[in-house]
Amino acid sequence: MMEELDFRTNNSNGSVKRRLLRVEMESVFGDLPPSGISGSSHNRFTVEKSAITPQECENAVSLTHVGRAGEAQMVDVSPKESTKRIAIASCNVILGKKVFDLVLANQMAKGDVLSVAKIAGISGAKHTSTLIPLCHNITLSHVRVDLHLNPKNYSVDIEGEAASTGKTGVEMEAMTAVTIAGLTVYDMCKAASKDIQITNVRLESKTGGKSGQWSREE
């Protein structure tokens, strides 16, 4: 009799614990399927998966760095044809008048801001595949980084260009070039101000590859 009572007590406690666990899970994930907690991970995935529209599935498939199960993957570019690839990107570094005047007069303690940032941008483009994990390690035939002081808003305008002949584009190399150049401007000037802003990192144009030519429309 005592053993039966203990069994009922334990069974009751187990039911209470399962109900409490279910309530807790529902507070996090929403209503669980009728099958209960058992297999809830699989059932929840099934419910969520069925809620995806065909259009969303089509868009998801177009993300080439995402596998069928949603995992990250590196794209196999071996079937692609080699073409001439060129990409141009830009960004803007807002300095403020005080820092702008110091850079203009080449009076920053670390030295020539624009020259150092130019070299950093070129170096950054060549290390893109190290910084961005799913980018291919490609051979660049040309990298250009130009920096110009803009007195209208006390900023530095940065433009970067990357070129290669191969099976994948160089958009990331161009954007990495201007981003690293912008970060270098910040590093060179941060002793004078912490209010410097790196803004508007974006692709301006690209040519080559299956998608052909693209240019940003203002």
Q: What are the residue numbers of the active site?
A: 187
Output phi, psi for 10, to 5 deg: -65, -40
Cα 172-156-91 angle, rounded to 5 deg: 25
30: left (phi over 0), alpha (psi -120 to 50) or beta: left
Question: What is the DSSP code (8-state) at residue 209?
Answer: S
At 208, is the secondary structure helix, strand, or coil? coil
**Cα separation of 125 and 143, whole Å?**
7
Beta bridge partners of 89: 160, 203
